[in-house]
Amino acid sequence: MTNQTKIWNVSTTINEETIQEAAALLRDQQVVAFPTETVYGLAADATHEAAVQRIFEAKGRPADNPLIVHVGNRDQVEQLVTEIPEVAHRLMDEFWPGPLTLILPSNHTAAQNVTAGLDTVAVRMPSHPVALQILQAAGLPLAAPSANRSGRPSPTEAEHVKQDLDGRISGIVDGGPTGVGVESTVLDCTSEIPVILRPGGVTKEDLERILPEVMVDPALVDQKEQPKSPGMKYTHYAPESPLWLIEGDDDFFQQQLLHIKEENRRTAVIASNELAGKLDHDVITACGSRENLPEIAGQLYRALRQYKKADIDVILCESFEEKGVGAAIMNRLQKAATQKITQH
């Protein structure tokens, strides 16, 4: 499975030659990573089981975790599903191309390992120009999970993809850092009232402007519930060092940091600019203002990847308000955390 991974750089201008080369590899059943507006994806022909199998192998992904099929136009959706409910049409009109994935009834055109044998298929049209141009040039629906080794934080830069998958995939199209920084929202449209299975770039508040009612998968709030989205049950987004999620005010955070430093543990901090400004500590990643959650989302995975086991014993991370994209940020941090310390 080791081969040369070709890297193209289109971060300043997108050249047609690169797009055609990547598309040709994909038509040839190879796997190629490219940027979407959320995170980098690792793509393969969604209608071809052996091609899709290469994604699972490169990532080390459990076979029961289905993939999102990316499309370059709406006709491709029609080719994948038995029907498109009225509500899905409205959502596509409003949010596509963009970070919203819709779960629809599958007609089994997508390879069976894409849907992990389910009767539904996840579809989304990304808005990143590189992703859209490759999809259009390939003329295929492309299965594409995040381009990380399974369990690691998703890649928001080509360098992250390289760290995880160099030598395991055919190519990486480097389009610079992605924008949104957390993955798409996964919305189940097969039930009467649509259900958020994974919070993401399109927020619940955004959806509520369009839909009379939106539900949230109970497994997202209660860890005893079985999630409906198979991927949500796995360890995810884990940095190399243990991550402690601190739930409390800034004073509480400062106290926790002091305790740990007294134990002589090498500690890193991931925090908002506001909290970072108050701490007397030298290893801090400030991810943006807590008043600007999209900015925090954009920086989060880079921050999680940044600290290496050899240098850092524990990462302390601030908790953020669960409004807007804050719901996605906190969902990822809860999964990444090895421990939570809550102020009472």
> Is residue 38 near Mg ion by the rule CB under 5 A?
no
Phi then psi dihedrals of residue 309, to 5 deg: -50, -35
The interface region with ligand TXA, picked from 77-85, 143-151, 202-210, 245-253 by CB under 6 A, is 143-151
> Is residue 38 near ligand TXA by the rule CB under 6 A?
yes
Interatomic CA distance for residues 48 and 187, integer angstroms: 25
- Within residues 127-146, the interface with Mg ion by CB under 5 A covers 146
Q: Which two tokens stand for residue 15?
A: 């050249």
The interface region with ligand TXA, picked from 31-39, 210-218, 288-296, 316-324 by CB under 6 A, is 31-39
Phi then psi dihedrals of residue 146, to 5 deg: -60, 145
Strand-pair partners of 41:
34, 146
The interface region with ligand TXA, picked from 22-30, 139-147, 205-213, 284-292 by CB under 6 A, is 139-147
- The count of residues interacting with ligand TXA (CB under 6 A) is 29
DSSP 60-84: T--TTS--EEE-SSHHHHHHHBS--
> Is residue 32 near ligand TXA by the rule CB under 6 A?
no
Buried b (16+ CB within 10 A) or exposed e, 265-290: eebbbbbbeebbeebebeebbbbbeb
The interface region with ligand TXA, picked from 64-72, 246-254, 302-310, 325-333 by CB under 6 A, is 64-72
Say which entry of ligand TXA, Mg ion, none residue 135 contacts (CB below 5 to 8 A, set by partner kind): none
Interatomic CA distance for residues 251 and 63, integer angstroms: 44
Site string for Mg ion, 145-174 (x = CB under 5 A): -x----------------------------
> Is residue 105 near ligand TXA by the rule CB under 6 A?
no
Interatomic CA distance for residues 27 and 84, integer angstroms: 27
> Is residue 144 near ligand TXA by the rule CB under 6 A?
yes
DSSP, collapsed to helix, strand or coil, labels residue 192 as: coil
> Is residue 202 near ligand TXA by the rule CB under 6 A?
no
> Is residue 328 near ligand TXA by the rule CB under 6 A?
no
Strand-pair partners of 33:
42, 172
CB of 145 to Mg ion, least distance (A): 5
Classify residue 230 by its DSSP letter: G
Binding site for ligand TXA (CB under 6 A): 36, 38-39, 41, 65-68, 99, 101, 103, 115, 118, 120-122, 126, 144-146, 183-184, 186, 197-198, 229-232
